[in-house]
Structure 1
């Protein structure tokens, strides 16, 4: 994988009036008139993005010119996300969890930006009076210093992009493909009635244990604890309807899984003009599988037990599928990260979702939760029809995330699973696929019934590793994130020599928990 470096955009400073340190001092003249300017096509934008991805192994909108940003916005829902800051603020990324955007200087910048956009929009479209409410489908953001607002003018975007108070301005809804590849995005999950006997063990009182628990020695760790007292937040497509899958409802506490909590909420809004989230129920199936890998009960009926079958689970529906490529999804993920970050009981956040395009708002959410002390695990990438060539995806490549991918069984040398991404940002791996048969992957819950479902890829590796981290953390809930991470690393395949594709390798959770 090529070494990454950041391409910085040169920002032009504007003059400020005396005694008004945070006043934008925007002149009242219209923004530049670009009437007749032709927008770039999706193919042209994608070609530019792919070149940057090949060169830098990541893509941020600051890497491209304002014409490209404007064109991408017109090809989506025209909602721009603006990250803002007062002029005297420094190192905002490191302090996102401490910032109060209701303070005077933050409110002033936010209000002046919104007022300028509204006034300039009305100047350019005098036939109808537009209000801030008309342009802001999600309303005011309460925690993160971001504004989600509709902008269709190239001139407005250009002027805002050159302000020192604007940390970033980028299209929220642009996607590499015109229609999201839902069939390639981790949905359509069903149970598998033909699972080979070698792929599970029957365990008390009446559950199954997936074969992929064997290499990390989960059974050995269970001799010490099963994750009790640790809360894992799963940010995904939701958790199953408890009526259809009671293992994530009335039977969450059953068998050897007792005294724990399941909290289910939703931040994803399927249509931004609807205003309210859709709720916590998984309408895809992916979140159901991930919740099962982490926390399914060790109960009855032959369903597979989760790695940390006694941990608490906070399930947040933040997306419709595994690709974070819509305005509502980016907003949903950021909101979910804030919720998990502010939940004092949450230790671990598991995110088996991502995209090849970055999002400033999601980055802000990740940094907010990280600043609150959460361990954030993110999938390195599971190939769709257009990302099979690519390395570690967003947000897993962020320094605040632990990137995880999946490998096949059979020992060294490690071979990544067929759909898994790898690269220098990967920190840990988990066995997800049989080397002799690609269709034999990890066992987990199906959206309904007791027949287990199969799931593989870096998504499953991430959820499995989140369960492993919970087992390690449960040995002493007072541990810090850094202490738990150190134990994960010390008990991995290569604790002192990071592999270029697979990081520190497979975690021996049995040894990490028991010392044996």
Structure 2
């Protein structure tokens, strides 16, 4: 980011009554009224109920559909940082062009400065004690069309909403109480194991097969045509970007052993875009996984075909770029939104990255992250995103963000066996594109993944593992057809999926079939 140049007795009572009536008839001046309104904060409990109602009725929640008073209340009850999306006023459909236009273009820069000037003017007129800090307390993103500013007046929101240059404004750091979704129970979701990723040394032998030199192939690989597809492609020369919680430095197969066994001539790179701290005092927290989820996803995608008895990934010869953009699987804090957006820009700029795998998200949309999704999409990236996973709630809830965006491919998980039955914790809905088999019908066991450390595999479930698996399958296909575009890859995955040409209202085109996609059968 860059910082910006940032009255005898009867007469008395008669007079008193007259004065009182006049007082009631005299309208309050706009400034006094506004100041009074600023004291009427909507408590966070009411804001959360409004969010919950919107999720139940529409499947999403959009800040710009809410009153300025509600957004102001959310700001005051968080860190007062407002994210403002901008564009030149003359654009008819600015959101559709995000990522194509350069925000360094003079017209875009002028729009950003105009927004900041309006904020400054508003605070100057109100004689706000913080007015002189607006330029210092503001940031304009170098690549994405948004800026952030500390807001100390409700009138700022009122004036911003009138500007043709403003596409949206949202509180950066307001966090919805997820316990409302499942009546006070544990509200973690996306992965059955959440942030735990322990090894399982006593896995049933029926849940894997041994392949040379001594690696364990997960039970679902043959059912998805993955084992069969390896005769044609192993993902070599394809780079997959993973946005998650990072990878563990204690898992050697994602470190010094990434090129081991029958996996060679490939690379793994690790970045961290997640920051800790507040506003100007934030610092990067490194690439290392402190959760376990990212390590598991990396394993499913590209763990090497090893000789130490651990699991191997779907695309075991592919390159991997791990970006720690979030501290856990729910992208709800301001720092996590920042981190994921920055990760998307980082991977979007990389010409070698073909696929971006995102087994993280949130129950409602965030415009900053949406801008970053468009940024990467408009640079040709195939973005696989988890449709959502719950532990014990939200059976009513459909596809989460960002998997509900047109620019992403939404993946969910189903049980093995005839017919389609979603996994116990997986979301489904009309926005699902593909499914992946990832839960055993009887035991409900999940696919193998890499544990935080050691040579014993772990297991992982939900739409998270489904998304990582789908990303690996796409890599196999792209490796076989390196000259293909994203559209061609997606068309081939669609035409060879189980339910094609009839798209299901809950499961999209159905199970991916790697073998069919690669022409093995």
TM-score for the superposition, normalised by structure 1: 0.89
What residue in structure 1 maps to residue 6 of structure 2?
none
What residue in structure 2 maps to residue 238 of structure 1?
246
What residue in structure 2 maps to residue 85 of structure 1?
87
Alpha-carbon shift at residue 74 of structure 1 (Å)? 2.3
What residue in structure 2 maps to residue 220 of structure 1?
228
What residue in structure 2 maps to residue 75 of structure 1?
77
- Secondary structure class of the residue paired with 1:147: strand
Alpha-carbon shift at residue 188 of structure 1 (Å)? 2.1
2:315 maps to 1:315: no
Following the alignment from structure 2 to structure 1, what is the Cα–Cα distance between the partners of residues 427 and 304? 30
What residue in structure 2 maps to residue 510 of structure 1?
515
Alpha-carbon shift at residue 147 of structure 1 (Å)? 0.6
Following the alignment from structure 1 to structure 2, what is the Cα–Cα distance between the partners of residues 38 and 326? 25
Following the alignment from structure 1 to structure 2, what is the Cα–Cα distance between the partners of residues 294 and 32? 57
Following the alignment from structure 1 to structure 2, what is the Cα–Cα distance between the partners of residues 30 and 84? 27
Alpha-carbon shift at residue 108 of structure 1 (Å)? 1.8
2:350 maps to 1:348: no
Following the alignment from structure 2 to structure 1, what is the Cα–Cα distance between the partners of residues 453 and 108? 47
Match of 1:410 among 399, 409, 417: 417
Change (3 A) 1:118 1:276: farther
What residue in structure 2 maps to residue 499 of structure 1?
504
- Secondary structure class of the residue paired with 1:198: helix
Following the alignment from structure 1 to structure 2, what is the Cα–Cα distance between the partners of residues 167 and 436? 50
Moved more, 36-45 or 402-411: 36-45
Alpha-carbon shift at residue 35 of structure 1 (Å)? 3.0
Question: Residues 454-484 of structure 1, C-alpha deviation per residue, up to 9 Å, x if partnerless?
Answer: 1000011001000011111111111011111
Moved more, 376-385 or 476-485: 376-385
Change (3 A) 1:223 1:131: same
Question: Residues 344-396 of structure 1, C-alpha deviation per residue, up to 9 Å, x if partnerless?
Answer: 11111111111112111111011111111111110000115664431100110
What residue in structure 1 maps to residue 119 of structure 2?
117
2:345 maps to 1:338: yes
Q: How does 1:159-238 map to 2 (within 5 A)?
A: 159-177=159-177, 186-238=194-246
Contact between 2:268 and 2:321, CA under 8 Å: does it hold in 1?
yes
What residue in structure 1 maps to residue 471 of structure 2?
466
Following the alignment from structure 1 to structure 2, what is the Cα–Cα distance between the partners of residues 134 and 304? 51
What residue in structure 2 maps to residue 295 of structure 1?
302
Following the alignment from structure 1 to structure 2, what is the Cα–Cα distance between the partners of residues 32 and 347? 54
What residue in structure 1 maps to residue 36 of structure 2?
35
What residue in structure 2 maps to residue 359 of structure 1?
366
Match of 1:442 among 422, 444, 447: 447
> Unaligned stretches of 5+ in structure 2?
1-29, 181-185
Alpha-carbon shift at residue 341 of structure 1 (Å)? 1.1
What residue in structure 1 maps to residue 60 of structure 2?
58
Contact between 1:443 and 1:453, CA under 8 Å: does it hold in 2?
yes
- Secondary structure class of the residue paired with 1:35: helix
Match of 2:97 among 95, 98, 101: 95
Higher helix share: 2
Following the alignment from structure 2 to structure 1, what is the Cα–Cα distance between the partners of residues 109 and 31? 24
Contact between 1:32 and 1:155, CA under 8 Å: does it hold in 2?
no
Following the alignment from structure 1 to structure 2, what is the Cα–Cα distance between the partners of residues 152 and 199? 57
- Secondary structure class of the residue paired with 1:225: coil
Contact between 2:134 and 2:150, CA under 8 Å: does it hold in 1?
no
What residue in structure 2 maps to residue 397 of structure 1?
404
Aligned-pair RMSD on alpha carbons?
2.1
Alpha-carbon shift at residue 229 of structure 1 (Å)? 1.0
Match of 1:306 among 297, 307, 313: 313
Match of 2:265 among 259, 266, 272: 259
Alpha-carbon shift at residue 128 of structure 1 (Å)? 5.5
Alpha-carbon shift at residue 30 of structure 1 (Å)? 7.0
- Secondary structure class of the residue paired with 1:214: helix
- Secondary structure class of the residue paired with 1:361: helix
Max Rg structure: 2
Following the alignment from structure 1 to structure 2, what is the Cα–Cα distance between the partners of residues 386 and 290? 23
Following the alignment from structure 1 to structure 2, what is the Cα–Cα distance between the partners of residues 53 and 46? 10
Change (3 A) 1:125 1:262: farther
Question: Residues 228-263 of structure 1, C-alpha deviation per residue, up to 9 Å, x if partnerless?
Answer: 11111111111221xx11111111111111101111
Contact between 2:43 and 2:73, CA under 8 Å: does it hold in 1?
yes
Change (3 A) 1:128 1:162: closer
Following the alignment from structure 1 to structure 2, what is the Cα–Cα distance between the partners of residues 213 and 95? 39
Alpha-carbon shift at residue 114 of structure 1 (Å)? 2.0
Following the alignment from structure 2 to structure 1, what is the Cα–Cα distance between the partners of residues 374 and 131? 38
Following the alignment from structure 2 to structure 1, what is the Cα–Cα distance between the partners of residues 43 and 398? 25
Contact between 1:34 and 1:155, CA under 8 Å: does it hold in 2?
no
Following the alignment from structure 2 to structure 1, what is the Cα–Cα distance between the partners of residues 32 and 288? 45
Change (3 A) 1:149 1:344: same
- Secondary structure class of the residue paired with 1:173: coil
What residue in structure 2 maps to residue 451 of structure 1?
456
